[in-house]
């Protein structure tokens, strides 16, 4: 079974978005300056962070068997509404009592806290938070507490339980700056990174008269497909669940791949990696660009054009199962129309917030 640990904080953010729509406000992201041993808070659009969290959830619904959350903090989102309760009823979101044996988390959490205290300024502020919490059960910097201390706790849960982890977008930014890497090699994340890499290459191939493809947005392919099939915001989760059924074969395949990695079986791992390489060979053969030594996916802008013609893409889908689903992820399009559509669900298609959304998700690569 392919399961991953998720943040209750993310689910709270998503529930608020689906219940009341995007908030035209800002939130603070922590930015380190290692050269000066300092940090600062950078304001980001709360709406963009909320949509990032939503995109993560839609992807996990389709490609994961289960999302594991800490049972002690589910009330942060269960009382809001927004439709997430249907995921709990299906046991797709599963609360776990991670804190039943807190002593197992203490060492790893302390280690992750140390790694996240990248600058002396952060370390001093975290210590002040810890001292005040011990003294009066309050923290002078709640944002740092939830991002750093809470984030270290979630990393410890993932480490001890040998699971992957989908963090809240603000925690993800903190982890990336600290170069945090978990010991679990997550095959779904590997596929996701591979698909995004090849979609980026496909974008870079779009030159000359191919202006239709000149804008690439940093929206993952699963949310693009969900938004394309939904008629309003209330259908986003139901459509993701329907898409989940369509991707059952790929999800099972990723679970088997994960098991091969977990038991360190090189023969089995090679079998799955061979399937990924075959995607490259098949697509390239269809557009006359054969490369039998291609290590993974190798596609160009011509494939993107093919993807918008029903015949060829349906042929791939019907003929190759798991590999066809992988192809569909690569060929999901730029996300431009889908972002417009998503903003329209919330009445923001032409608002100032929409302009900020497009700037935030616009690919810089």
Tell me the chain's radius of gyration from C-alpha atoms: 21
233 or 250: which leads in pLDDT: 233
The pLDDT assigned to 220 comes to 85
Arithmetic mean of pLDDT, 264-272: 72
Structural domain boundaries of the chain? Answer: 3-177, 187-352
Quote the CA–CA distance of 335 and 225 in Å, as a whole number.
9
| Distance separating alpha carbons of residues 319 and 312, to the nearest angstrom | 11
Q: What is the pLDDT of residues 133-172, one digit of tens each?
A: 999 999 999 999 999 999 999 999 999 988 889 999 999 9
pLDDT, residue 247, reads 87
Q: What is the pLDDT of residue 209?
A: 39
**Nearest alpha carbon to residue 112 among 190, 39, 171, 166:** 171
- What pLDDT is recorded for position 197? 65
Mean of per-residue pLDDT scores for the chain: 81
DSSP state letter for 164: E
Distance in angstroms (rounded) separating the CA atoms of residues 225 and 202? 18
Residue 226 has pLDDT above 80, yes or no: yes
Structure tokens, 138? 């309050």
Q: Residue 287 is encoded by which pair of tokens? A: 């557009």
How far does CA 208 lie from the centroid of its chain?
32
pLDDT digits (tens, 9 = 90+) for 177-203: 999 877 666 777 777 766 766 666 655
Give pLDDT, residue 54: 97
Grade residue 216 by pLDDT with cuts at 50, 70 and 90. low
Coil, helix or strand for 45?
Answer: strand
Is the pLDDT reported for residue 13 higher than 90? yes
357 vs 277 pLDDT, higher one: 357
In degrees and rounded to multiples of 5, residue 180 shows phi and psi of -75, 130
Helix/strand/coil for 263: coil
Q: Determine the pLDDT at residue 306.
A: 39
265 is written with which tokens?
A: 């079986």
Q: Answer yes or no: is pLDDT of 86 > 80.
A: yes
Which letter, b or e, does each residue of 302-320 get, where b requires 16 or more Cβ atoms within 10 Å of its Cβ? bbbbbbeeeebbeebeeeb
- The helix or strand, by DSSP H or E, that contains position 340, with its residue range, turns out to be helix 336-345
Q: What is the CA 69 to chain-centroid distance, rounded?
A: 16
Element (H, E) at 158: helix 150-161
| Selection from 55, 73, 72, 66 nearest residue 17 by Cα | 55
């Amino acid at each position: 079974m392919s399961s991953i640990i998720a943040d209750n904080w993310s689910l709270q953010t998503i529930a608020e978005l689906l219940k009341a729509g995007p908030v035209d406000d800002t939130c603070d992201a922590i930015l380190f300056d290692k050269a000066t041993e300092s940090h600062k808070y950078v304001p980001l659009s709360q709406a963009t962070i909320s949509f990032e969290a939503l995109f993560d959830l839609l992807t996990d619904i389709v490609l994961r068997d289960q999302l594991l959350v800490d049972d002690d903090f589910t009330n942060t989102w269960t009382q809001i509404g927004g439709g997430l309760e249907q995921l709990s009823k299906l046991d797709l979101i599963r609360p776990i009592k991670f804190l039943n044996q807190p002593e197992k988390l203490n060492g790893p959490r302390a280690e992750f806290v140390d790694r996240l205290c990248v600058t002396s300024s952060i370390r001093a502020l975290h210590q002040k938070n810890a001292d005040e919490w011990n003294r009066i059960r309050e923290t002078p910097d709640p944002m740092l507490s939830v991002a750093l201390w809470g984030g270290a706790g979630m990393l410890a849960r993932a480490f001890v339980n040998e699971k992957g982890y989908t963090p809240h977008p603000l925690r993800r930014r903190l982890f990336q700056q600290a170069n945090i890497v978990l010991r679990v090699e997550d095959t779904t994340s590997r596929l996701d990174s591979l698909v995004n890499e090849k979609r980026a290459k496909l974008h870079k191939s779009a030159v000359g008269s191919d202006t239709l493809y000149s804008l690439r947005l940093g929206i993952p392919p699963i949310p693009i497909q969900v938004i394309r099939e939904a008629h309003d915001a209330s259908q986003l989760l139901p459509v993701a669940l329907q898409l989940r059924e369509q991707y059952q074969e790929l999800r099972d395949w990723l679970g088997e791949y994960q098991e091969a990695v977990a038991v360190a079986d090189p023969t089995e791992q090679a079998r799955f990696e061979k399937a990924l390489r075959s995607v490259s060979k098949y697509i390239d053969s269809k557009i006359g660009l054969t490369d039998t030594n291609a290590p993974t996916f190798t596609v160009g802008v011509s494939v993107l054009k093919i993807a918008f013609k029903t015949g060829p893409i349906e042929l791939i889908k019907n003929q190759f199962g798991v590999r066809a689903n992988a192809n569909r992820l690569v060929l999901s399009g730029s996300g431009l129309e889908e972002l417009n559509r998503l903003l329209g669900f919330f009445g923001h298609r032409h608002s100032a917030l929409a302009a900020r959304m497009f700037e935030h998700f616009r690919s810089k690569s």
